[in-house]
Amino acid sequence: MGKQIVLYLHTHQPYRIKPYSIFEAGSDHQYFNYEAPDNDMNNRFIIDKVSEKSYLPTNRVLIDLLNRHPEFCLSLSITGTLIDQLEQWRPDVLDSFKELVRSGRVEIVAETYHHSLAFFYSRAEFVRQVAMHADKIREIFNVETTAFRNTELSYNNDLAYWADEAGFKAIITEGWDPVLGWRSPNYVYQPAYSTDIKLLMKNYKLSDDVAFRFSDKNWSEWPLTTEKYCHWLNEGDPDGEIINLFMDYETFGEHQWADTGIFDFLAAFPDEWLKKPGNGFQTITEAAVEHDAKDKIDVSHTITWADTERDLTAWLGNPMQVDAITALYELESKVMASENADIIADWRKLQTSDHFYYMCTKWFNDGDVHAYFSPYDSPYSAFMYFMNAYRDLQFRLAESNNN
């Protein structure tokens, strides 16, 4: 009996805040326009870099796979903040994503436009951002979204209930052992308290073999060949129906560089997988529709696909992060009442979860600054620039009230 691989790739870029002092607050309302060359706070520089290293070569491989294998399909999520930046600076890259979607075998997954944590702070804003994203996807790719993922695969019963009510056919999260218990991630499930929606849970062991361990020469299984990997996929859980391989799109070319052989691996892997009769690929929605739910999954506390803790502590774990995000969402009613499109747009760009991630101290404290990626010299700088941008928003709101 064959199995179906549900390959899901997530891609996103934030608008990083420039070094922004209190003296700029009130006079310079541009927070995201750092132009120093070769600098990781320069958003255009990052878009160009990642386009060349990851987006273009990965899309070339994926288009080739779609052409060669009618069975091959995948799901992709792409945030509004990335689409906007590609439209502005790299329309050629956006075209290559459009080409993928035109194959009819690449599903776009719904999420918040701004890769935000709005669900946990403002349900109204969350709903607006999901609608904005759906509109943008329709405009750019001419498709409707039917599967939902929340930022960092954060998930709980409330979110599933909302997604069910909103009419999504599927929602995804981490296949975290304390939640699954004795159950396997290799089946379709149903969220507790829901009626129609299905739940797919990441097989993190097999996903991370590629996403994290592929180039690790200290890993006992290095080097990872397509034969070895497909053997694991086929034999690991003989009765499993699906294998949820969820990972960052930037795994290909950015986290794992081209010289590790990651592109060759991606190009050859479907050939190997499809050798076994019955093996195939499904998008998230296809899997949700075609497989019966094996059980109900109850997640009362929020889980994510991040870190060993699988929680939100990398975003909301220290007082700076909590102070910053609370202050930002406190502005919501004033921001919306201003009806000022620029203010609303900037407020939303500040909601992107990456800003709070850059303030994370849990690795900085260990001196292990390479454990996470940040364009800033310290989480404290990230916090100060953010708070000064927040103060400029306050200034603009006060100014628009005075007028």
Active site residues: 152
Residues in 238-297 that interact with other proteins by CB under 8 A:
none
Residue 88 vs 326, nearer CB to other proteins: 326
Contact 282, 4 (CB under 8 A): yes
Residue burial 163-175, b: 16+ Cβ < 10 Å; e: rest: bbeeebbbbbbbb
CB of 25 to other proteins, least distance (A): 4
Nearest partner of 328 among 342, 346, 340, judged by Cα: 346
Residues 94-113, mask of contacts with other proteins (x by CB under 8 A)? --------------------
Nearest partner of 7 among 82, 61, 48, 46, judged by Cα: 61
Q: Pick one of 122, 154, 384, 385: the residue that binds other proteins (CB under 8 A).
A: 384
Residue 27 vs 308, nearer CB to other proteins: 27
Residue 180 vs 322, nearer CB to other proteins: 322
46 CB-near residues (< 8 Å, 6+ apart): 13, 16, 40
Contact 287, 170 (CB under 8 A): yes
Residue 262 vs 324, nearer CB to other proteins: 324
> Of the listed pieces 90-98, 120-128, 316-324, 366-374, which binds other proteins according to CB under 8 A?
316-324
CB of 394 to other proteins, least distance (A): 7
Q: Pick one of 180, 293, 322, 336: the residue that binds other proteins (CB under 8 A).
A: 322
Q: Pick one of 55, 356, 383, 385: the residue that binds other proteins (CB under 8 A).
A: 383
> Of the listed pieces 144-152, 227-235, 297-305, 382-390, which binds other proteins according to CB under 8 A?
382-390
List own/partner pairs for 338-341 with CB under 8 A and 24 or more apart: 338/397, 338/400, 338/401, 340/396, 340/400
Give the rounded distance of the alpha carbon of 229 from its chain centre. 24
88 CB-near residues (< 8 Å, 6+ apart): none
> Of the listed pieces 135-143, 164-172, 282-290, 313-321, which binds other proteins according to CB under 8 A?
313-321
Q: Can residue 363 be called a binding residue for other proteins (CB under 8 A)?
A: no
CB of 185 to other proteins, least distance (A): 37
SS3 11: strand
Q: Pick one of 320, 343, 350, 360: the residue that binds other proteins (CB under 8 A).
A: 320
CB of 379 to other proteins, least distance (A): 8
- The residues facing 76 across adjacent strands are 9, 108
Contact 109, 143 (CB under 8 A): no
Q: Can residue 391 be called a binding residue for other proteins (CB under 8 A)?
A: yes
Q: Can residue 398 be called a binding residue for other proteins (CB under 8 A)?
A: yes
Residue 212 vs 395, nearer CB to other proteins: 395
CA atoms within 13 A on the CB side of 36: 8
Residues in 177-206 that interact with other proteins by CB under 8 A:
none
Contact 353, 12 (CB under 8 A): no
Residues 20-59, mask of contacts with other proteins (x by CB under 8 A)? -xxx-xxx--------------------------------
Residues in 342-361 that interact with other proteins by CB under 8 A:
361
Number of residues this chain uses to bind other proteins (CB under 8 A): 28
Nearest partner of 392 among 336, 331, 337, 333, judged by Cα: 331
What DSSP string runs through 38-74? Answer: T-TT-HHHHHHHHIIIIIHHHHHHHHHHHHH-TT--E
Contact 294, 184 (CB under 8 A): no
Which stretches of the chain bind other proteins, using CB under 8 A? 21-23, 25-27, 318-320, 322-324, 327, 361, 378, 380, 383-384, 387-388, 390-392, 394-395, 398-399, 402
